[in-house]
């Protein structure tokens, strides 16, 4: 395997970003780490999240990663500056809630942002909301319980629907016509979120933008894999491998082998 691109998340949610990267860059080798043993990050301390982000990034670079994608909004908000100072020679591409495009696309003037408590409390996201919340109203909502449902692979069902209802309905009732998915786990619940929000509400997932930015950064550094064969994929978890394998296979869309990190 050539030098891979490393991707990590607090758990299985970052597979939504990995999927977009695979589509955009079919020839790149990919290594994914899901820190499911410590998920969710949203309710953890800043020091804890920074420590995990630094440890996993170091691990990926030890695996010869030529670039690292932080596929976790909470880790981006809390740790990305630290990672860029600790690992200055490796391009680090990070995800953040797509508030800017949402602000330009709302017709009602009201945007809803669904994210974890940790993401919404981070300085980066506070700055984002202040920057783009001048001309539009930005409502924020903690997606209580949603990460846990995705980690368990429960993407539908009564419990999942009631959690989605509790998070999404208040935003819609206050006029939001665009919803920003500010956690990489949430795209796996898009069908449930859309069902509650209604067909006229636009849902924005920033994964495609991250994949394009990764392509741009790799090209600028002369690191793009040559075209041709599909790149290999390597999946790791810090959680229980037996539990993670079927859930990650389902979210990825085909059977995969998951190793323990």
Stretch 125-152: mean pLDDT? 96
Query: Where does the pLDDT of residue 257 fall: very low under 50, low under 70, confident under 90, or very high at 90 and above?
Result: very high
**Boundary (domain end) residue, out of 204, 223, 242:** 204
Which residue in the list 18, 29, 183, 201 is annotated as catalytic?
Answer: 183
**Boundary (domain end) residue, out of 204, 228, 243:** 204
> Do the beta carbons of residue 115 and residue 93 sit within 8 Å?
no
Give residue-wise pLDDT tens across range 17-50: 999 999 999 999 999 999 999 999 988 999 999 9
**72: annotated active-site residue:** yes
Residues 38 and 50 in one domain: yes
Give residue-wise pLDDT tens across range 61-102: 999 999 999 999 999 999 999 999 999 999 999 999 999 999
Stretch 221-245: mean pLDDT? 94
Which structural domain, as residue segments, surrounds residue 79? Answer: 5-95+207-260
Give residue-wise pLDDT tens across range 164-219: 999 999 999 999 999 999 999 999 999 999 999 999 999 999 999 999 999 999 99
**Boundary (domain end) residue, out of 186, 204, 222:** 204
Residues 235 and 256 in one domain: yes
> Do the beta carbons of residue 173 and residue 139 sit within 8 Å?
no
Residues 34 and 160 in one domain: no
CATH code for the domain in which residue 122 is found: 3.40.50.1860
Stretch 149-169: mean pLDDT? 97
Residues 112 and 184 in one domain: yes
| Sign of the dihedral defined by the CA atoms of residues 86, 88, 93, 96, in that order | positive
Number of domains in the chain: 2
Residues 77 and 106 in one domain: no
Residues 218 and 236 in one domain: yes
Residues 123 and 215 in one domain: no
Residues 219 and 91 in one domain: yes
Query: Where does the pLDDT of residue 228 fall: very low under 50, low under 70, confident under 90, or very high at 90 and above?
Result: confident
Per-residue pLDDT for 227 more than 90?
no
Cα radius of gyration (the chain): 18
Residues 9 and 84 in one domain: yes
6 contact partners, CB below 8 Å, separation of at least 6:
31, 32, 33, 57, 60, 61, 63, 65, 67, 68, 69
Which residue in the list 20, 70, 72, 258 is annotated as catalytic?
Answer: 72
Residues 200 and 167 in one domain: yes
- Angle, vertex CA 210, rays to CA 207 and CA 214, nearest 5: 140
CB atoms within 10 A of CB 58: 14
Residues 110 and 193 in one domain: yes
**167: annotated active-site residue:** no
Helix (H) or strand (E) holding 241: helix 241-252
Residues 132 and 198 in one domain: yes
Query: Where does the pLDDT of residue 1 fall: very low under 50, low under 70, confident under 90, or very high at 90 and above?
Result: low
């Amino acid at each position: 395997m050539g030098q891979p691109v490393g991707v990590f998340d607090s758990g299985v949610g970052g597979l939504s970003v990995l999927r977009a990267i695979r589509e955009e860059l079919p020839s790149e080798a990919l290594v994914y780490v899901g820190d499911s043993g410590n998920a969710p990050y949203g309710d953890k301390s800043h020091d804890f999240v920074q420590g995990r982000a630094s440890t996993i990034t170091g691990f990926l670079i030890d695996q010869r990663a030529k670039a690292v994608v932080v596929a976790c909004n909470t880790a981006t908000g809390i740790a990305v500056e630290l990672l860029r100072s600790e690992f200055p020679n490796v391009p680090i591409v990070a995800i953040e809630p797509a508030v800017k495009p949402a602000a330009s696309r709302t017709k009602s003037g009201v945007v809803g942002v669904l994210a974890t408590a940790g993401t919404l409390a981070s300085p980066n996201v506070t700055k984002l909301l202040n920057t783009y919340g001048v001309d539009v109203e930005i409502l924020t909502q903690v997606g209580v319980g949603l990460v846990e449902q995705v980690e368990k692979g429960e993407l539908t069902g009564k419990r999942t629907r009631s959690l989605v209802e509790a998070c999404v309905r208040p935003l819609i009732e206050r006029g939001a016509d665009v919803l920003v998915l500010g956690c990489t786990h949430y795209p796996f619940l898009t069908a449930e979120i859309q069902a509650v929000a209604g067909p006229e509400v636009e849902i924005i997932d920033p994964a495609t933008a991250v994949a394009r930015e990764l392509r741009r950064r790799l090209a600028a550094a002369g690191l793009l894999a040559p075209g041709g064969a599909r790149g290999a994929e390597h999946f790791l978890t810090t959680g229980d491998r037996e539990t993670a394998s079927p859930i990650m296979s389902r979210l990825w869309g085909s059977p995969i082998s998951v190793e323990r990190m």
